[in-house]
């Protein structure tokens, strides 16, 4: 099992290292989530501000709008390629674009798992999850849909592990 994130190879955000492809024969996903559409909020605000300033700022506003559009395209491919899954043995995470971060974390190596939701995240049900593994390595994934439910499911699954 990998202890560091691996970087998958994909074109246009295509997830070449799907979580389903990494499951063993006797392994099934008990809970699955993705990144939240709120990743588009920042790019949308930037494009709107650039559009409102277009008449007075001209070229600078167009550059701002182009930046917002590029950010939105990256967000789209990041959302499209993201997935987080829980099995009875491990947590599997694929997230990010253009470099896909792929985590394979056995449940018995998880020391702590928690989530954080800002005010807007509480209203729209997104946030970040933080997983601390033995050896103090950390995994932080932002803009996760339903982070409280994901963390609760992981904690429940850890609680069912037989002591070793």
Its sign, for the CA torsion 79, 31, 90, 145, is: positive
Q: Which long-range contacts (CB under 8 A, 24 or more apart) does 18-26 make?
A: 18/83, 18/94, 19/83, 19/85, 19/92, 19/94, 22/92, 22/104, 23/87
In what helix (H) or strand (E) does residue 106 lie, and over which residues does it extend? strand 100-106
pLDDT of 81-97, one tens digit each?
A: 899 999 999 999 998 88
CA distance 134 to 129: 17
pLDDT of 10-36, one tens digit each?
A: 434 444 458 888 888 888 899 999 999
Please provide residue 89's backbone torsions phi and psi, each rounded to the nearest 5 degrees.
Answer: -115, -25
In contact, 147 and 128? CB cutoff 8 Å: yes
Domain boundaries, the chain: 6-10+28-35+83-159, 39-74
Rounded average pLDDT over 49-67: 94
Identify whether 98 is preceded by a cis peptide bond (ω within 30 of 0): yes
Does the pTM surpass 0.85? The reply is no
Instruction: Select 6-10+28-35+83-159's CATH number: 2.30.29.30, 3.90.25.10, 3.40.640.10, 1.20.120.1200.
Output: 2.30.29.30
Rounded average pLDDT over 131-146: 91
In contact, 107 and 90? CB cutoff 8 Å: yes
């Amino acid at each position: 099992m990998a202890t560091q994130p691996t970087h998958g190879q994909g074109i246009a955000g295509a997830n070449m290292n799907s979580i389903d492809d990494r499951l063993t024969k006797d392994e099934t996903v008990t809970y699955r989530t993705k990144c939240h559409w709120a990743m588009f909020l920042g790019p949308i605000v930037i494009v709107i501000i650039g559009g409102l300033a277009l008449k007075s700022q001209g070229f600078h506003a167009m550059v701002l709008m182009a930046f917002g559009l590029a950010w939105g395209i990256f967000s789209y491919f990041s959302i499209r390629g993201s997935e987080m899954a829980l099995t009875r043995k491990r947590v599997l995470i694929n997230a990010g674009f253009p470099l896909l971060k792929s985590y394979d974390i056995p449940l018995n190596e998880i020391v702590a798992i928690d989530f954080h939701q800002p005010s807007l995240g509480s209203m729209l049900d997104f946030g970040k999850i933080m997983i601390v593994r033995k050896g103090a390595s950390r995994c932080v994934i932002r803009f996760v849909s339903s982070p409280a439910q994901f963390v609760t499911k992981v904690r429940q699954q850890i609680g069912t592990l037989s002591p070793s």
